[in-house]
Amino acid sequence: MPSVISHAIAATAIGKVVQPQSVPWWYWALGATVSAVPDLDVIGFHFGIHYGDLMGHRGFTHSIFFAALLAGLVTIAFAGHDQISSRRLFSYLFLATASHGVLDAMTNGGLGVAFFSPFSNTRYFFPFHPIQVSPIGAGRFFSAKGLAVLQSEALWLWLPSAAIFAVMALVRGGGNRIQNSNTAIHD
Ligand SMILES: [Zn+2]
């Protein structure tokens, strides 16, 4: 996995693309949270579940089906808010959760991602995997290996995410200005 921070950064970039004009603060918190949820499957290691099992690491919780399920449940819990439609919130949460598996499939270690679980437990990697796999467990993260992981995540995740966020902020800002000037003309 890339680190929790990197999953949250990617989710934030997705959130910027999907967001309507203004969103409540919890919009960002929800995206960052759901992007980390798939890795809760590492708890299974303590209960004798093997990496390659259905419920193993990068298994069911990393699937497209799970992303839809989690996004659906969280959307139901937060539905009915004025500032964001349920459909848009679902789209964001689905993409934020699914991005986790996509990024994992771009790492250079571990087993692949069971995108089609529970229907198929086949594990997939993308042909392009530049992201250094992150050690499981925070203890091992603070090491030379951890630094190399952060460097590769900064290059392949943080920079593209920041670029997407900046471009969307510019586009939205420009859109607002055009809308405002139109309003001014019509007024
Ligand atoms: Zn993962």
Give distance in angstroms: CA of 133 to centre of ligand 1: 10
Give distance in angstroms: CA of 181 to centre of ligand 1: 45
CB of 30 within 8 A of CB of 90?
no
Question: What are the tens digits of pLDDT across the range 117-164?
Answer: 999 999 999 998 888 888 766 555 566 777 888 888 888 889 999 999
Give distance in angstroms: CA of 118 to centre of ligand 1: 16
Cβ neighbours for 5, distance < 8 A, ≥ 6 positions apart:
153
Instruction: Reduce the DSSP state of residue 124 to 3 states and report it.
Output: strand
Instruction: Reduce the DSSP state of residue 142 to 3 states and report it.
Output: coil
Question: What are the tens digits of pLDDT across the range 19-64?
Answer: 877 888 899 999 999 999 999 999 999 999 999 999 999 999 999 9
Query: Which residue bears the tokens 């919780």?
Result: 61
Residue 184: per-residue pLDDT: 47
Give distance in angstroms: CA of 111 to centre of ligand 1: 10
Question: What are the tens digits of pLDDT across the range 73-100?
Answer: 999 998 887 788 999 999 999 999 999 9
Residue 14: per-residue pLDDT: 93
Residue 79: per-residue pLDDT: 85
Residue 176: per-residue pLDDT: 56
